[in-house]
């Protein structure tokens, strides 16, 4: 019985699942998020060209002049690459005003927002179902006259199926003969669980087997991904997602998680280019200002980092701790954390990446030192390893090639912070001054000037800058600064620890410069 049911379930999975990304519309409804027009264009370009989503929903009609500019830019770009039909804009049952607004932007697809529950129809619109249906038909007909395609949202459909299914069926019965391409079923308030999704979707598909249904999840109960997959399991042909799960309240279903589970668990087909998921995540994280949790599946900073030494040991023995979510699949690399849980296997993996070979006894001593640092809640990065090795084993390590001789940083009311820096590079001293947006920014600009003017060399580009009190510390504890730099098509990350934030950042910077200088001299 169970096996037969499972076979029937999987037979309902469409051979192909359409992915519609709503980052630029629903995702922008995240509290505090507002994309500039050029940012919207850049994100849209990456979604359409690199990530290869099937459709993007980019705005709500009539919001602002800035929104109109953004939609127009996106439509012009999409038209040039033959993907204008993939650009969609949310419109309203407003007698055709939204249709005109979208058409003026060059758009060809309107996602019309209708009421999917009797309560919303009668209490928000103050209309009878028949009046609302007549209004919908009027807008759909007008869009057809303007040669525009229409998809129809049934807003609050989840509560509609729960409290007023007859109203939902009345709506569908009246509208399935209209030129609506897709009926999009949202859990607007995020109240559903997977069992309800399966129940309601099967009822819809049984009554309207030829209709293309999309599902639009919200994550209020942390079930957006599960509910999306339940919808596919029940025959939904399309899913709505956002990058990093952005969206109102608790957000929407995150694209990366939905894609990975569709492919690995259900063997469903999509057009998504998985190698671009991390890139679009970083881009949206930057433009939105909403940080991705380090343990967020697929795109979080730590998700491909093995911490336990036993896991690193297992990876060396026929990849015992691997699953299908290999980092290379998503354009990433596996890392092995350094800390009190590392063990010799983690240390060995990191030493191997650096090309350092130690005896078992030397590895044991380095491991012990890293464990001691971990007990103090200090972060150890791979780039710290050569210094730890030198310190612990008392090697006659070559002297630093890049030294800070002296520096002065200053700040004053009404003036930009400044820095004067004197450094020694390979025995030669150089000096420069600069101003910046902060003391550290001024310091780096002075260094950048020295490298460009005197050495004719490119200074690495700052990728990320994190300042924190070491976990478990007090407000008067040491400041920990971890800085990431773009270098040689990769990321170089170093750490500084000091009572002063600027000094900690400077220490991390000079670690980075000495690593680069050592690599340069080795070559």
Contacts of 382 (CB under 8 A, 6+ apart): 335, 338, 350, 353, 354, 493
Please tell me which residue in 25, 86, 237, 493 is annotated as part of the active site. 25
Answer yes or no: are the C-beta atoms of 380 and 373 closer than 8 Å.
yes
Q: Which of 18, 57, 88, 155 is catalytic?
A: 155
Active site residue 301: no
Whole-number Å distance between alpha carbons of 59 and 307: 42
Helices (H), 289-438: 309-316, 343-354, 360-375, 385-393
- CA R_g for the chain: 28
> What does residue 64 show for φ and ψ, rounded to 5 degrees?
-165, 170
Burial class (CB in 10 A: 0-12, 13-18, 19+), 421: buried
Dihedral of CA atoms 298, 302, 303, 307 in degrees, nearest 10, equals 170
Q: What are phi and psi of 357, to 5 degrees?
A: -115, 125
CA distances from 298 to 229, 260, 294 (A): 17, 8, 10
User: Is residue 319 left, alpha or beta, with left meaning phi > 0 and alpha meaning psi from -120 to 50?
Assistant: left
Pairing of β 18-21 and β 238-241: parallel
d(CA 448, CA 442): 10
Burial 51-87 (b: 16+ CB within 10 A, else e): bbbbbbbbbbbbbeeebbbbbbbbbebbeeeebbebb
- Its sign, for the CA torsion 222, 224, 227, 233, is negative
d(CA 7, CA 225): 22
| Token digits of residue 429 | 């001293």
H-run or E-run covering 18: strand 18-21
Paired strand residues for 238: 18, 214
Is 155 part of the annotated catalytic residue set?
yes
Report the catalytic residues. Answer: 25, 155
């Amino acid at each position: 019985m169970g096996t037969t049911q499972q076979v029937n379930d999987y037979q309902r999975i469409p051979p192909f699942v359409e992915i519609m990304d709503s980052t630029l519309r629903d995702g922008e409804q995240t509290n505090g998020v507002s994309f500039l027009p050029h940012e919207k264009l850049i994100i849209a370009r990456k979604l359409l060209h690199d990530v290869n989503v099937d459709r993007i929903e980019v705005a709500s009609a009539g919001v602002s002049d800035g929104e109109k500019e953004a939609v127009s830019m996106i439509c012009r770009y999409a038209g040039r690459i033959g993907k204008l039909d993939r650009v969609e804009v949310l419109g309203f049952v407003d007698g055709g005003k939204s249709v005109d607004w979208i058409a003026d932007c060059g758009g060809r697809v309107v996602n019309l927002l209708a009421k999917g529950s009797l309560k919303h129809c009668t209490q928000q619109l103050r209309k009878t179902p028949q009046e609302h249906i007549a209004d919908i038909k009027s807008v759909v007909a007008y869009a057809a006259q303007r040669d525009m395609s229409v998809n129809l949202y049934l807003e609050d459909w989840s509560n509609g199926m729960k409290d007023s299914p007859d109203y939902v069926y009345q709506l569908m019965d009246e509208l399935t003969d209209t030129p609506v391409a897709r009926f999009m079923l949202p859990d607007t308030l995020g109240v559903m669980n997977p069992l309800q999704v399966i129940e309601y979707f099967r009822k819809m598909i049984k009554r309207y087997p030829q209709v293309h249904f999309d599902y639009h999840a919200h994550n209020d109960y942390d079930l957006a991904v599960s509910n999306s997959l339940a919808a596919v399991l029940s025959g939904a042909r399309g899913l709505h997602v956002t990058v990093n799960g952005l969206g109102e309240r608790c957000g929407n279903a995150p694209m990366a998680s939905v894609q990975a589970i569709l492919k690995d668990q259900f063997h469903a087909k999509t057009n998504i280019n998985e190698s671009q998921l991390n890139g679009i995540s970083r881009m949206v994280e930057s433009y939105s200002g909403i940080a991705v949790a380090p343990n967020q599946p697929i795109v979080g900073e730590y998700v491909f980092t093995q911490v336990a030494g036993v896991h690193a040991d297992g990876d060396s023995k026929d990849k015992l701790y691997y699953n299908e979510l290999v980092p290379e699949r998503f354009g990433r690399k596996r890392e092995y954390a350094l800390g009190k849980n590392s063990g010799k296997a983690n240390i060995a993996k990191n030493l191997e990446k650096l090309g350092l070979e130690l005896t078992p006894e030397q590895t044991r001593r380095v491991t012990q030192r890293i464990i001691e640092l971990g007990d103090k809640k200090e972060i150890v990065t791979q780039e710290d390893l050569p210094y730890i090795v030198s310190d612990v084993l008392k090697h006659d390590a070559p002297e630093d090639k890049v030294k800070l001789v002296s520096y002065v940083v200053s700040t004053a009311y009404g003036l930009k912070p400044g820095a004067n820096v004197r450094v020694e590079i390979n025995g030669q001293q150089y000096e420069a001054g600069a101003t910046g947006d902060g003391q550290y920014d001024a310091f780096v600009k002075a260094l950048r000037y020295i490298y460009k003017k005197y050495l004719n060399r490119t200074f690495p580009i700052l990728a990320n800058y994190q300042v924190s009190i070491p976990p478990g510390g007090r407000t008067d504890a040491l400041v920990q600064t971890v800085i990431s730099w773009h270098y040689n098509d990769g990321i170089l990350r170093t750490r500084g620890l000091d009572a002063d934030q600027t000094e900690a950042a400077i220490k991390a910077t000079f670690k980075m410069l000495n690593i680069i200088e050592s690599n340069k001299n080795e070559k």
